[in-house]
Structure 1
Amino acid sequence: MRWFIWAALGCLVAIQPSYIHPDEHFQSLEILAIKFGQIKGSIPWEFDSANAARSFIPLYLNYGFIFKFFDHVRPRLLLSIVRLQNFLTYLWAYKFALAHIGHSYEADFLISTSYITSCYQSHSFSNSLETVLLLVVLSLYNDLIRLRHKRHCLESVLLGITIALGIFNRITFPVFIVVPSFIVFWQFYRKSLFSLAVFTAALLCSIAAFIYTDTLLYNSTHYVIAPWNNLRYNLDVSNLAQHGLHPWYTHFLINLPQLVGPSILFVQAPRRSLRTLANNMPLLSIYSGITLLSIFKHQELRFLIPLAPLFFMCSHFRESWNKIGVYIWIAFNLFMGIIMGCLHQSGVIRLLDAMRQDKLEVHVWWKTYSPPTWMYANKNLVASTTNFVNDTEKVENVDFSIVHDHVVDLKGCDTNLLNYTLTQFLSQNAQVALLAPKSVSSLLNLLNTTFRFIPTRSSNLHLDLDHIDIADSASWSMGLIQYNVIRNDYAHYYTSIVNN
């Protein structure tokens, strides 16, 4: 009964319009909306045909059905359907893993109550699908070792297909299974060459099919091997520098504690033999994954998402866990569920939904996460953003003569660039709407001598954690506001029109 309560609560959080990271839209739903809905949007560099660094296969298999049969519903409802599917799929995957690897009440409780389950796993990250695929692979690995006297032909076919899909979903997938794979090869496939041949055939056939399909979808004249293109990009440190470089210990000391929360304070060191540890698939995957991922200099918390259920599966807790730890755990995850699952940047999705019936002129987004332009569902949309020249942010790629169906993402640029952008559009007699969080209202006030910002719509359920300034109390304010922007020299005309 308790599990259903936590599952229902997690489901409620999962369908909230929070916005954790731009990749959850631009590397999945944006692409599919363009493909299926024939709309205009923002194509990330990974899916540009010149780079072809991401495979379409995982997207089509995971979300293709939804976009095919629910393309008529409004974008926010479509987003909720996607998140509900991801949440339920993950619930099945971790239950499947517990049944095959070893059920534990503590693991079941921790996974079902973790904010990672309701927030990250429900969102359309490639990392979320990576977790599901990893749980399936480790479960099948465990079956092969536990029942090694059987041939396991069906399991070998499923492994070949799943591992191929995992690689084409994210190039990081192999790091989670490299050590477990060695153990499985040594204990099972080394002694069952027929099963090894079946696995190899399934793996190679799947890879060939994925390459062929990607080649068609990219409309390329040569074979497209998306994982290889992605790997080449990530091996170049100068490319990673564009996304941010981190110390090697970031995953160990910063990301992992955030991932598993206060449970890490109550974990008891395992007292098992080396042989037992060598057969512990979740533990091997944790060691393998976090060690190899730490080699790369760009390290984000979501890269470790697949490790969360594995950590809970192989953890044993001190006696103090039942006395105080469980209460701290619940409080922590309720807090994080509200912050990351309900409030974080949620005004972006809420206002996009509210504006969907409005006539789109020029929308300028400032100091927010990049607006998921697929939610405009606009077949004439022009999406523009800033560019960098010698580390200086500019708007050289913005065509200010386009004053209809134009969405401009100014990201976190300074007020000078915002001033320039608004001036250029208004000089073209454009109707400009500015969307900015309340947390930067003091910065916006610096432009009051030039412009008048007239609030027309707002969402109070918007938490901006990127622009908090201890010295500025306004930076702690919640909310996202849509303003009509006019030049101050025309403000009295606007006022008279409104009053009449």
Structure 2
Amino acid sequence: MKLAKYIKSIRYKNSAFRLYLLCVALRIVLVFAPQTGYIHPDEFFQSVEVFLGDQFDLEHERTWEFNNTFPIRSVVVPYFTLKIPLSFLQFISFYSDFYFGINLINSYVFLVFPRLVMCILSFLNDISLYSICRAYSLKYETRLLALGSSFVMLVFATRTFSNTMEMTLCSILLYFVSDCMIHSNTIIYKSEALQIKYQKATSTSERVKLYKLRAALPTHSLNRVVLIATLCVIGVFNRPTFLVFGAPMVFFWLLRGMGTKTVNFVDFNLRITLFILCAAPTIAFFTIVDSIYFGFLTTGEIQMLDISINNFVFTPWNFVKYNLDSSKTASHGVHPRYLHLLVNLPLLYNVLGVIAVFSFAKLVYRFLSSDYRNLPRSQSIIGLMTSAVFAPLAIMSYINHQEARFLLPLTLPITLLHGHKLDGISFPNPFTEDRPFFRALYDKFVPPRITKKTILRIWYTTTIILVIFYGFLHQGGVYQLSAHFSQVMKVKSPPTNVHLITSHMYSFPVAFLNTPSSKTVHIDRVTRKKYRRGRQFFINELGSADITRVLPIVSAIVNSYETESRGKYSWRYQIYVAMPTSLSDEFDELYKRNMTQMKFSYVRSFYPHLSTEALPNPRREYGENDVFSVSGVLSLLFNFARQFSLTLYRFET
């Protein structure tokens, strides 16, 4: 998998490859645009929020997953993919600010820089797919186009999810396993061919020559065992569900050559043993680093050799224990078992996801019909990719909490299996002549072929819609709101406490405010006394709770400051409320009925923004008769469009 070879093999005259290169450029452009869409809080709070706070000593929120008493997230992978790049950013920012007056420590860079790192890593998926296709003489141009133009690569691949890193690690592992498979198959074929010739040889000199040729063949049984074992450990510590996605790949690596004359169960058991032994050092390294980071193991204890089993934390096991408790996973949402197969797979992979569902149904039908000859061979590349899709999919479907991003590791195998079908799909009837009813039903409702033009039209239309929705529209005002408050907090003189109340909005990334941490202990240079900066930004997040809770919180904040002003201290404060514009009219009515002593004013709206918990209502302000006039139609459209925003209000104190 050499990058130079990858670049040299580019076929510029191929239209599919030119479109792929255009999609590569688009992937990079969308990072810098930037995408304001906010898919899920985990894209910030599982890595960016924590490590921005640690690196730049900023006010931030550490989620329960990084709880020092029961941590379920390893910090090693984010440390290398985020902490070290952020250290480099801090170094560069110092000199850019000193020589050019350009400060790189701001909310825009905080959003874009981690995504740029993930974007660079995402190309490992492309290179892995290309390398596998070249090794097995598969058509790579259309498959690369399917990968590069997919909604997954344009949006998810540049986000800081642990699932995104899991996808990249699975793609790399698939490449190494497939490379080992073809290498072993080649060596075994040559070895057995030479063995047959050796047995048929009549002269001693010919036998000696064939024996030397067979002995000169390279070894293959333990090929890349250290690399594959290390990669698996990294994947499991990054996200323990890697056990589910990586197990079929490791099994195929262990199974190479089984059933031939040169490979037997001794080789199989030896591979397992050495795989475990090679994984042990990496497991120890990750465990020690996590134990030190979360405070289970201290340098003092190491120096005094006062170490016991209680000084170590194994974050993957904590993750598994947490998720084995169905009541805890249910707190994040309970979904039906079929959601991954029938909804999430088509959502992520578009046409290819639908084809994968039908492919799964066809495989099940052939298996139940005992048509084993048409099933993928156990040691073929198709067998590997099929197992890498449907075995994890079946296991993941048993978990009661299911999100589309959990299936990101299926990206490469699905693309390799079905990516070439963007050129057109044929639907041969799977039912035999002895099942005339089902055969006739299939011929009636299933088209024999869908043309390339139709498939591409569906593919690109769906991709554009999903990129706009998840890349820019969904919760798109949250980042803009944080960028706004990062400017507000800079000009607070004299010091003013800012309270933000949010409703029907995802978690607010506090680190993007770029304000010094209130938990850091400082030492006064004159008095040498220790002190901490006072916290100046406070947030009350109501989630999807009824907006009637907003005004009581405002009253409680005002009353607390009025009580303190009667005492020794008097604080300046400001209160803001942020909510989807679709709720603004309802909030205005609530204010008129319940609060008259304080006035609130409109600050600004952030476009675009859509909260699925508070969808826009185009008929909110207009009656039935208004829609029959031109002005009524225009008013409806304007009212509907303005609701695709996040509105910020300020209460006058």
Q: Normalized against structure 2, the TM-score is what?
A: 0.67
Q: Return the alpha-carbon distance in structure 1 between the equivalents of residues 227 and 454 of structure 2.
A: 42
Residues 124 and 171 of structure 2 are in contact (CA less than 8 Å); yes or no, is this contact kept in structure 1?
Answer: no
**Match for 2:404 among 267, 281, 301?**
301
| Cα drift, residue 120 of structure 1 | 1.0
The more displaced of 220-229 and 35-44 is 35-44
Counterpart residue identity of residue 173, structure 1: F
1:197-276 alignment, distance < 5 Å: 198-221=274-297, 222-265=311-354, 269=359, 273-274=374-375, 276=377
Cross-structure match for 1:5: 22
The more displaced of 135-144 and 92-101 is 92-101
Cross-structure match for 1:65: 84
Provide Cα deviations, 1:219-249, integer angstroms capped at 9, x if missing partner: 1152110000010010001101110111111
Provide Cα deviations, 1:46-94, integer angstroms capped at 9, x if missing partner: 1011111110011102112222122452132132121122123212323
Cross-structure match for 2:648: 482
CA change 1:381–1:442 in 2 (3 A) is farther
Report whether the alignment pairs 1:407 with 2:554: no
- 3-state SS of 1:310 partner: helix
Counterpart residue identity of residue 402, structure 2: Q
- 3-state SS of 2:487 partner: coil
| Cα drift, residue 207 of structure 1 | 0.7
May I ask how many residue pairs the two structures share in their alignment? 468
Counterpart residue identity of residue 250, structure 1: L
Report whether the alignment pairs 1:467 with 2:486: no
| Cα drift, residue 308 of structure 1 | 2.6
| Cα drift, residue 277 of structure 1 | 5.7
Report whether the alignment pairs 1:118 with 2:141: no
Report whether the alignment pairs 1:175 with 2:244: yes
**Match for 1:353 among 483, 487, 496?**
483
Cross-structure match for 1:445: 588
Q: Return the alpha-carbon distance in structure 2 between the equivalents of residues 85 and 375 of structure 1.
A: 18
- 3-state SS of 2:601 partner: strand
Q: Return the alpha-carbon distance in structure 2 between the equivalents of residues 301 and 275 of structure 1.
A: 27
Residues 351 and 458 of structure 1 are in contact (CA less than 8 Å); yes or no, is this contact kept in structure 2?
Answer: no
Q: Return the alpha-carbon distance in structure 2 between the equivalents of residues 133 and 444 of structure 1.
A: 47
CA change 1:324–1:410 in 2 (3 A) is same
**Match for 1:416 among 541, 544, 548?**
548
| Cα drift, residue 193 of structure 1 | 6.5
Q: Return the alpha-carbon distance in structure 1 between the equivalents of residues 640 and 393 of structure 2.
A: 35
Counterpart residue identity of residue 362, structure 1: H
| Cα drift, residue 154 of structure 1 | 6.6
Report whether the alignment pairs 1:362 with 2:394: no
The more displaced of 46-55 and 140-149 is 140-149
- 3-state SS of 2:649 partner: strand
1:311-322 alignment, distance < 5 Å: 311-315=414-418, 316=421, 317-318=425-426, 319-322=449-452
RMSD: 2.5
Cross-structure match for 1:130: 166
Q: Which runs of 5+ in 1 are unaligned?
A: 383-401, 491-500
The more displaced of 241-250 and 226-235 is 241-250
| Cα drift, residue 461 of structure 1 | 1.9
Provide Cα deviations, 1:427-472, integer angstroms capped at 9, x if missing partner: 2253101122212213312332215331223212222222126686
CA change 1:456–1:403 in 2 (3 A) is farther
CA change 1:153–1:376 in 2 (3 A) is farther
Residues 366 and 435 of structure 1 are in contact (CA less than 8 Å); yes or no, is this contact kept in structure 2?
Answer: yes
Residues 151 and 192 of structure 1 are in contact (CA less than 8 Å); yes or no, is this contact kept in structure 2?
Answer: no
Q: Return the alpha-carbon distance in structure 1 between the equivalents of residues 296 and 487 of structure 2.
A: 37
Q: Return the alpha-carbon distance in structure 2 between the equivalents of residues 116 and 179 of structure 1.
A: 22
Provide Cα deviations, 1:81-125, integer angstroms capped at 9, x if missing partner: 211221232123232233125553332111101111111111100
Counterpart residue identity of residue 220, structure 2: R
CA change 1:147–1:154 in 2 (3 A) is closer
| Cα drift, residue 168 of structure 1 | 0.5
Counterpart residue identity of residue 201, structure 1: L
Cross-structure match for 2:469: 339
Counterpart residue identity of residue 81, structure 1: F
**Match for 1:323 among 440, 453, 460?**
453
Q: Normalized against structure 1, the TM-score is what?
A: 0.87
| Cα drift, residue 408 of structure 1 | 2.2
| Cα drift, residue 405 of structure 1 | 2.1
1:12-27 alignment, distance < 5 Å: 12-14=29-31, 15-27=34-46
| Cα drift, residue 273 of structure 1 | 4.3
Report whether the alignment pairs 1:456 with 2:473: no
Cross-structure match for 1:77: 109
The more displaced of 240-249 and 149-158 is 149-158
Residues 57 and 517 of structure 2 are in contact (CA less than 8 Å); yes or no, is this contact kept in structure 1?
Answer: no
Q: Which runs of 5+ in 2 are unaligned?
A: 1-17, 94-104, 188-218, 258-262, 298-310, 364-372, 427-448, 490-496, 520-533, 563-572, 621-638
Q: Return the alpha-carbon distance in structure 2 between the equivalents of residues 471 and 352 of structure 1.
A: 28
The structure having more radius of gyration, on CA atoms, is 2
Moved over 6 A (4+): none
